[in-house]
Each structure stands twice: as C-alpha cells, then as structure tokens.
Amino acid sequence: MNAAAIRVLLLEDNPDDAALVKRTLAHAGSRAFVVTHATTLATALDALRADAFEAVLADLCLLDSSSTNTVKTLVAEAPGTPVIVLTGSDSEDEEEEAMQAGAQDYLVKSESSGLLVARAIRHAVERQQLAAALQRSNLELLVANRELEAFGYTVSHDLRAPLRAIDGFSAILDEDYRDSLPAEALGHLDHLRGAAKRMNEMLTALMALSRIGSAEMLRGPVDMGLLVRECLAELAPEIGAARTDIRTGELPGCSANRPLLKQALLNLIGNAVKYSRRASPPQVSIGSERIDGAAAYFVRDNGAGFDMKHAGKLFGVFRRLHHTEEFEGTGVGLAIVLRIVQRHGGRIWAEAAPGEGATFRFTLGE
C-alpha cells in the first residue's frame, strides 16, 4: 500500500452511491485513497475499533441510524477522526445540526463531484493534523512553562540558604569586629550586606513571579473601587512619606481573580508613587476608560517617565529603565503585572516621556 494513501471509512448503505464514490476517489489525484466500505453504523463502529482511519465519509440516513445521531456516534467512537457528511439531503437545518454534532464538512450528493469529495477529505485530514500538532505544541508549551516555573521557584528557594549564611555571618562580623576593622574594610562589609539584601529581594520577587503561572485562576465579580481603596490603605506609609496626591476616577467592576488583580494593582500604584516622589507636587491618578468597547484601567503619574524607545524592556524580568541609585526596586514588579494580566486574557501597555510621567493601561479580557 502507498504510504501516502489516505485511509477512508465509507459509511453508505446505497450500493450504487458507494460504488460511485469509490470509483471517483480512485481517480481523484496524485494522493491515493484506500476505502473501506460499511453499510450500517454498527459495522462502521466495528471497523473503527479494529483499524485506524484518517477520515470517515458518512451518509446520514442508514438502516440502523438516522440524522445527526450518525455523526454524534461516529465522533464519540473516534474523536480524533474527521467526519464528513455525504448525503442526499440539502436541508440547511440538517447541515447546521450535523456541523454542531461534530462533522467537519457537509456535502450534498447531487452537488458534489468526485474532485470536490476528494478535496473535502484532504482538507479535513489536513485540518485534523494541524489541530493535533497545535494541541501537542500547546501541551509541550504548558509542560515547559510548568518546568520553568518549578525551576525558578527551586533556584530561588535553594539560593536563599547560602544567602542567609552570607548575611548572617556578615552581621556577626559587623557586630563583633566593627570597632577593630579599618574604614576600608567596613566599607567593603557594608557593600557586602547591601548586596545580600538586594539579592534576597530579587529572589523573593522571582519566587512571586514563579507562583503566578501556577496560581489557581478562579474569577469572580470584583468591586474595583473597593480593591483600589484597599491597595491605597496598604501603601499608605509610602504615599504619606512622598506626600503624593492620589486621585481616583470611575472604576467599573469586573470579573477577575481578586488576589492576583490586587497584586497587580499594588505593583502599579506602588511604582507610580515611587517614580513620582520627586515631582512637585507628586500626583497619581487611578481610573478607567472605554477602549474598543471594553474597560481599560489606568494608573498615571507625573514622575520620572521614560523614553518610549525603551518600552520593550519594561516588562522583562530584572529589566530596569532607571538606576537603583535613583529608584530602588528589583525589576520584577512589571513582569509580575504582565503575567497576571495575560492570565486574565488581557493586555497591558504604557505611554510615557522623560520627565513627564507615565501611564499604564490594562484590560482583563472576558
């Protein structure tokens, strides 16, 4: 048998129609068809259990089955095999029902040439192969993401043990020998402890990022006004220290995972407070707009801003557009926000200019 041949199960109880289909498929192009003929649904099911087929070409009206029951039964028996209806009925209602039942195509015998039938089979097989390949790719991507998340969490967790040792012993050195160490050594020690602190913050942020992908994605109604007020209450010390003027606008409710959305808002509002603290006076606005018919929430500040040519770096892990000497941080906060928004099926983007502040907008999908 030709390795490139398409194995077709033909379910047809009319011997003349069956003979015509087999004859036309035998002369339908360069790629051959190997046809197995069944006259009843029962024998077709036996054939599907005994052998592998790349497509099923089925009449709807049979001695032991009728209408869309034929399609439903075939799809249930061989869910990975495309079913193409070839029937004498040109009823639009029956066609719609057959497609809803799982048929990939619907052909009327009186309107279908051998070439059309062959083409429909080839296209159905190609679609099924593409769908299977996409499913495999999605599964592989899911496994890779889970492995990456697990790796990130493990690395972050395991690195903390030696980091705790560095911090702990350097603290002992500082407490017990500070008075006897020369000034240069004390400077080195302070740099060492500062670096250990920054690395611990980065590992904490990396662990938080790794958990976003595996967090349970349960959505429910969220009062955005209440959620923003909760975030502002938690950020009150930073807001008070910077004397930031906070302004809130209309905040329509949404359907979201509340804990994840709160984490995203805390990061966005916290960043806005941080980067606007040198403005005179510092201002942060939180509200929403309608964009393409959907609610887009925004957090806007009048702070340091950034050059839009570097916007592509914003949401990368450990990517920063300002030096740590200017503004503290790990460079993971926006990566966390991006992951949360994407898990909701939404998108996030920014507009800014150096010295003129920045606006971050995000949607949450349906």
Distance (Å, rounded) from C-alpha 227 to C-alpha 98?
A: 47
The chain-wide mean pLDDT, for the chain, equals 83
Beta bridge mates, 364: none
Do 337 and 228 fall into the same domain? yes
**pLDDT confidence tier of residue 152, bands split at 50, 70 and 90:** low
The pTM of the full predicted model, rounded to 2 decimals, is: 0.50
Do 357 and 224 fall into the same domain? yes
170-176, Cβ contacts within 8 angstroms, sequence gap of 24 or more: 170/196
Strands 283-291 and 254-256: what pairing?
unpaired
Highest mean pLDDT among 48-62, 158-172, 312-326: 48-62
129 pLDDT above the threshold of 60: yes
Question: Final residue of a domain: which of 159, 190, 212?
Answer: 212
CATH of the domain at 27: 3.40.50.2300
pLDDT, residue 174, reads 86
pLDDT, residue 138, reads 75
Do 170 and 238 fall into the same domain? no
160 pLDDT above the threshold of 60: yes
Residue 72 lies in a domain: yes
Residue 122 lies in a domain: no
316 pLDDT above the threshold of 70: no
**pLDDT confidence tier of residue 228, bands split at 50, 70 and 90:** very high
Domain encompassing residue 57: 6-112
Do 151 and 253 fall into the same domain? no
As a whole-number percent, the residues of the chain with pLDDT over 70 amount to 84
Average pLDDT over residues 7-20: 91
CATH of the domain at 192: 1.10.287
Do 205 and 229 fall into the same domain? no
Residue 233 near residue 364, CB atoms below 8 Å: no
Do 270 and 343 fall into the same domain? yes
Residue 128 lies in a domain: no
Residue 210 near residue 145, CB atoms below 8 Å: no
pLDDT, residue 214, reads 60
Average pLDDT over residues 24-36: 79
Do 237 and 343 fall into the same domain? yes
Do 196 and 148 fall into the same domain? yes
Do 233 and 341 fall into the same domain? yes
Do 197 and 163 fall into the same domain? yes
322 pLDDT above the threshold of 60: no
Of 112-116, 117-121, 361-365, give the lowest mean pLDDT range: 112-116
Average pLDDT over residues 259-283: 90
Do 88 and 187 fall into the same domain? no
Instruction: Give the count of domains, the chain.
Output: 3
Of 221-235, 277-291, 302-316, 351-365, give the lowest mean pLDDT range: 302-316
Each residue of 346-356: pLDDT tens digit? 998 989 888 88
pLDDT, residue 331, reads 58
